[in-house]
A = this chain, B = another copy of it.
Amino acid sequence: MTAPSPQLVFDTLLAYQRSAALVTAIELDLFRAIADGPGDAASLGRQCGASERGTRILCDYLTVIGLLDKADGHYRNTPTSALFLDSQSPAYMGQGARFLCHAQLREPFQHLTEIVRTGRTVLPDHGTARVDNPSWVEFARSMTGITGPSAAPMAEMVLEGCSGPLRVLDIAAGHGLFGIAIAKRNPEARIVALDSAEVLAVARENAQREGVGDRYEELPGDAFEVDFKGPYDIVLLTNFLHHFDPPTCTVLLRKIRAAMRPGGTLAALDFVPNDDRVSPPPAASFSLVMLATTEAGDAYTLRELEAMYRASAFDHVAARTVPTGPGTVVTGRAV
């Protein structure tokens, strides 16, 4: 039993300031300036085009919340900020801040009390689940650094024991990196990427940059409505099921099953909390985002996902966590 702490209440009420401070530091490219040195507030202010007062107070705050170190009036990146927040790092996550702190994602949290009362988002038109929601283009452009690191491990998992020609459907492709990772590992894989036409333009750019553009086909539309043009050996369903309620998910899974070869693999990547729904923290806390931004979405437990899979004629349901992100890959075999 922990002693009561008013500080936890203060910290929670004021937590919005943490988000704001980090977004500002990313916008100023502060972590890059710190890596360049010399790291005192006056120099950093000049490097970032910012006032010395503002820079000093921002850097002190970032030190307090553990994103910088400070000694003798000079700031240094922590291992975390050097790897993920320096814009020259290959693992840079700064672009993702634009999505995670996107006004459209933040706005519903200003109305969270009404949302909890009614049990559904205040956003119009089914919230973020709409395929033509303009924020998905932003998502596709900005989330490469955040969801991208899961693409390679997911491809390894999905391709295990598979070789030769494969036809792959990548539903809600977004930046396309999940399908592209498969195409890069299997030179005979052909990818059909499904998303809105605007988002697919981003995926196509990425496919061409990664040298798999000649095996990359676009299928613009809504996953619930468009003809999938199967059959497929592999279907990817990344960060998608959580937008819908279980009956809707099951409708989609049945449609997917009907477009697959028997024995083919469906692989969803999703936030999968334990049965207690309060662990592990990243997956469990994701439910609140779905409450705020969708009509009836949720982070589903493996038990719930397995029930949806089985009801849609998938068996051999298995889950593996992705070491590089908060996601879990849930595979099923088309019966």
Interface residues on A, range: 35 or more
Q: Is A93 an interface residue (CB 8 A)?
A: yes
> How far is the CB of A48 from the nearest CB of chain B, in Å?
8
Report how far A129 CA is from B176 CA in the complex, Å: 50
Task: Assess A51 versus B117: contact at CB under 8 Å? Given A57-B287, A67-B12, A101-B16.
Answer: yes
Within A32-59, the residues touching B (CB, 8 Å) are 49-58
Secondary structure call for the A interface: helix
Residues B55 and A116 in contact, CB atoms below 8 Å apart:
yes
Within A56-114, the residues touching B (CB, 8 Å) are 56-58, 60-61, 63-67, 70, 78-80, 82-85, 91, 93, 96-97, 100-101, 106, 109-110, 112-113
* Chain-B contact segment, one of A2-10, A160-168, A231-239, A259-267: A2-10
A270 CB contacts on chain B under 8 angstroms? none
> How far is the CB of A285 from the nearest CB of chain B, in Å?
5
A79 CB contacts on chain B under 8 angstroms? 1-4
Q: Is A115 an interface residue (CB 8 A)?
A: yes
Q: How many copies does the complex hold?
A: 2
Residues B116 and A28 in contact, CB atoms below 8 Å apart:
yes
Q: Is A151 an interface residue (CB 8 A)?
A: no
By beta carbon, the residue of chain B nearest A14 is B100
Residues A113 and B23 in contact, CB atoms below 8 Å apart:
yes
Report how far A15 CA is from B119 CA in the complex, Å: 22
The one of B17, B51, B52, B324 that contacts A109, using a Cβ cutoff of 8 Å: B17
By beta carbon, the residue of chain B nearest A284 is B64
> How far is the CB of A297 from the nearest CB of chain B, in Å?
10
Task: Assess A23 versus B112: contact at CB under 8 Å? Given A100-B10, A278-B70.
Answer: yes
Q: Is A134 an interface residue (CB 8 A)?
A: no
Q: Is A156 an interface residue (CB 8 A)?
A: no
Q: Mark A160-198, 1 if CB is under 8 A from B, else 0.
A: 000000000000000000000000000000000000000
Q: Mark A202-214, 1 if CB is under 8 A from B, else 0.
A: 0000000000000
Q: Is A303 an interface residue (CB 8 A)?
A: no
A23 CB contacts on chain B under 8 angstroms? 13, 112-113
> How far is the CB of A133 from the nearest CB of chain B, in Å?
19
> How far is the CB of A228 from the nearest CB of chain B, in Å?
30
A56 CB contacts on chain B under 8 angstroms? 277
Residues A24 and B112 in contact, CB atoms below 8 Å apart:
yes
Q: Is A248 an interface residue (CB 8 A)?
A: no
A4 CB contacts on chain B under 8 angstroms? 78-80, 82-84
The 8 lowest CB-CB distance pairs between A and B, nearest first, are: A51-B119, A54-B116, A15-B15, A20-B109, A15-B18, A16-B16, A53-B119, A63-B278
